[in-house]
Amino acid sequence: MKRFFFIIPYAILFGLSLQAFNFKLDHPIAEDISRLMPVKMKAIKAEDSEGAIKKVIKEAVKNGDSISIAGMQHSQGGQTLYPNGILLDMKHYDKILDLDVKEKHITVQSGATWADLQEYINPYGLALKVSQSQNIFTIGGSLSVNVHGRDIRHHALIETVESFRLLNAKGQILTVSREENSELFSSVIGGYGLFGVILDVTLQLTDDELYKIKTKSLNYDEYTSYFKRDVLQNDAVKMHLARISVAPGSYLDEMYVTDYYRANDQAQLSNYNTLNRETIVAVPKFFLGLSRYNDWGKKRFWETQETYMANIDGNLVSRNNVMRSDSAFMDYSNPSKTEVLQEYFVPIDQFTDYIDDLRKTLSHEKDFNLLNITIRYVEHNDESLMSYAKDDMFALVMLINQGTDNESKENTGRVIRNMINVTLDHNGSYYLPYYGYPTKTQLFEAYPRAEEFFQLKKKYDPDNRFMNLFYKEYHP
């Protein structure tokens, strides 16, 4: 139970991952993790070698087929699907190719997961600079959505990428970095698989460290000043996470924060650097389940989280263990419901006013089942053309339980578009990998370089060999 509250936004979806590919050999149907858009594919190709992947591309060109690229299928906006196309499943292309311990660089095939990397580098005293809180995702998929994590000194994943190799629609393999094919560097990372197949990646690593956990409760209108004063300006704080209540009585008001301070005695790291696995399942599963069904359950869940936070204050944990999680307890299977994510980015100085306006927007939405909001920090970065971090931002990751029927989708879409409008009114943006509820107008307002991005797609893939439903929905 020790770590389960940190990982809810991403971990909740892992329970459905075995359903992410619902394949039938004669008529393959593919679904992403949300199960909201099953798509009939022409074929699914799961390859484990560079030569086999090149062959798939060559045959697709010959036959005029579209290609979509998939990792763990946790993007929910059709980024891995296209009707009657070839789905290239990269999960078996997963070898660790090289580790330079001295320079702290690793080269890995794009189908490897963050868990694979952690298990490989942990014995060398090395750790990841940036990844999601959960480590089940593939490296290529994480690059394609330009993930961020809870490290407040290293922000978007693009910052940690030295180079990668890209297989394009012509069957050519290009080396891409800030110095070589730099235009592709800024468009492929955060480019949702639209420019080619990421084959392997060289990433920067850092040292594993021992952290001391400190927790604190506060009100939402105290958060910005607290973060600036006690977190951002304190070099000892390496990671940060916050959560704001969605329970009645404390709704979008009460918060707690979790800060990870570099421990004074790093010699103790060896006592904490064994990679942990979650073992307690029933208790967190029970309380999370309660929160799905009524306000009473949401209150109990929030109270349990507060108690848990007080109990872990002062605990020690390694960096690698902060950046990993198992999630069997998050298994959620319901034939008529699913759980989707939304993520909104708002400038840190606008957080208080933003929460006030968001609360007004959601106050009358009785059928909108918001389960959780986790908050992280992302520093301004515009290396990626489709960067979400237009300023120094707080990122609010929202977990939503909804029905899979058309009426439920329409209702959720309406509420989400309203929330995005509030976010845009506060000079914010939203994360693209989720279901296509936002309008095209909202996308172009949130991503002012989107036109340039779509033009580069036409330049580098004029035949639209690499396609997905996200591109179909939003390109001009």
Using only C-alpha atoms, the chain has a radius of gyration, in whole angstroms, of 21
Residues of the chain with CATH 3.30.465.10: 96-207
Just give the CATH number of 4-11+209-434: 3.30.70.2520
The structure tokens listed for 255 are 């918060």
Check pLDDT > 60 for residue 26: no
Give mean pLDDT, residues 198-218.
97
The structure tokens listed for 342 are 């939304």
- The amino acid present at 351, given as its one-letter code, is F
Distance between first and last Cα of the chain: 47
Residue 298: its pLDDT value, please? Answer: 92
**pLDDT band at 424; cut points 50, 70, 90:** very high
Q: Residue written as tokens 């959560």? A: 243
Distance of alpha carbon 378 from alpha carbon 393, whole angstroms = 5
**CATH T-level assignment (fold) for domain 96-207:** 3.30.465
Range name among 179-183, 207-211, 325-329, 395-399 with the lowest pLDDT average: 325-329
- Helix, strand, coil shares, percent, the chain, to 5: 35, 25, 40
Residues of the chain with CATH 3.30.70.2520: 4-11+209-434
Check pLDDT > 50 for residue 6: no
Residue 11: its pLDDT value, please? Answer: 45
* Residue 205 · residue 129 · CB < 8 Å: yes
Percent of the chain with pLDDT over 90: 75
Give mean pLDDT, residues 133-139.
85
Give mean pLDDT, residues 301-327.
88
Q: pLDDT (tens digit, 9 = 90+) per residue, 232-267?
A: 999 999 999 999 999 999 999 999 999 999 999 999
Residue 327: its pLDDT value, please? Answer: 55
Residue 118: its pLDDT value, please? Answer: 95
Q: pLDDT (tens digit, 9 = 90+) per residue, 456-465?
A: 999 999 999 9
The structure tokens listed for 456 are 């580069």
Residue 25: its pLDDT value, please? Answer: 46
Percent of the chain with pLDDT over 70: 89
* Residue 33 · residue 74 · CB < 8 Å: yes
For strand 337-347 and strand 96-100, is the pairing parallel, antiparallel, or unpaired?
unpaired
* Residue 13 · residue 33 · CB < 8 Å: yes
Give mean pLDDT, residues 206-220.
97
Residue 328: its pLDDT value, please? Answer: 52
Q: How many CB atoms lie within 10 A of CB 375?
A: 21
The structure tokens listed for 97 are 């190719």
Distance of alpha carbon 397 from alpha carbon 401, whole angstroms = 14
Burial of 293 (0-12, 13-18, 19+ CB in 10 A): exposed
